Structure 1
Amino acid sequence: MSGAAPIVRKLTDIPGYLISPTDTVRLAELAGPSHGTSTSVFLEIWEPGGAQPLNSHEDSAEIFIVLAGHAEAHSDDDMVPLSPGDVLILQPGSEHRIINTSATERLTTITIMANDGGFAQLVTDGTPVPLTAADLGVLVPSLAPVA
């Protein structure tokens, strides 16, 4: 037994970040190395039409669980469409990017990286940005704004 106490984080207390100030994808680190795990878990939110730059993680598979929105996932020479309920698994070393194909709706995923290779630190060293009640409501409907 490790003797380490469990860690509980409140979604409403977790900040979002932009890796670069002009990015169109916000990330919130839900769990990662600073919480005692080599696996990182993020809430990712793409603005309408948003995309991340082409990127690769040499030592980590990356898994995206699509919660809301529609997208195209590009990995090396392949492209697949994504919609809510899809689970995308990208292999270590693949050059990839995801593009939100909607002009009006956000794309929201839970993203998991085993052995994140410093990605969580890259995220939290970025520009802090707020997460809205609508962002959190995708995960927890009771946090969504009342219409």
Structure 2
Amino acid sequence: MSAAAAVPPPVVQPLAEVTAHRISPTDTVRLAVLSGPAQGSPATVVFEIWEPGGSQPPNSHPVSTETFVVLVGTGLAHSDGHTRPIGPGDVLVLPPGSVHRIVNTSGTERLYTITVMAPDDGFAALIERGPVAGLDPEDLAVLRENAAGRQAGPEASS
């Protein structure tokens, strides 16, 4: 058996098959695992959606760095007594052990990020144990437009 034969094939999943969850039923943030341990990755990549005014409770990941790439919307990132505004094009990096939360300040709009948790340390399993919340056409449009390198939101029609 050659070394190339031992390498698993790439994983392709249509966006229509991606499922979002809430970690708990009353959460105002939905999370859709795009890749993680189930796909053979030691890190997890998540599409996160904060509802208008939404936030997650303060949380911490003892051994993982969490990186957010803001696609659409604005928010305030709180971490260990520090507060920073975030918006489209920003990259927020939270070190292992930081106690943090993000609040959507976009008014009536959703806040969208691509989030990388490295290493996963159970994050994908935590998300996928939560209740299914689904992705709607607006969510899928933001993901498709940003994946294709186009600007999402009202500015895209200018």
Q: Are 1:92 and 2:96 matched, yes or no?
A: yes
Q: Are 1:59 and 2:55 matched, yes or no?
A: no
Number of aligned residues: 144
State the AA in 1 paired with 2:89.
Answer: G
CA drift of 1:5 comes to 1.2
Paired position in structure 2 for 1:40: 44
- After the TM superposition, list the runs of 4 or more consecutive aligned residues in structure 1 that deviate by more than 2 angstroms: none
Q: Find the aligned partners of 1:129 and 1:92 in 2 and give their Cα distance.
A: 28
TM-score, normalised with respect to structure 1: 0.94
Higher mean C-alpha deviation, range 61-70 or range 128-137? 128-137
Gaps of 5+ in 2: 153-158
CA drift of 1:103 comes to 2.6
CA deviation digits over 1:67-107, x for unaligned, max 9? 00000000101000001000000001000000001230000
Q: Percent identity?
A: 54
- The structure whose residues are more often helix, as a share, is 2
Structure number with bigger Rg: 2
Paired position in structure 2 for 1:110: 114
Q: Please state whether the residue corresponding to 2:13 is helix, strand or coil.
A: coil
Q: Find the aligned partners of 2:93 and 2:71 in 1 and give their Cα distance.
A: 15
TM-score, normalised with respect to structure 2: 0.87
Paired position in structure 1 for 2:22: 18
State the AA in 2 paired with 1:129.
Answer: A
CA drift of 1:130 comes to 1.4
Counterpart pick for 1:69 among 55, 67, 73? 73
Counterpart pick for 1:7 among 7, 11, 15? 11
CA drift of 1:139 comes to 1.9
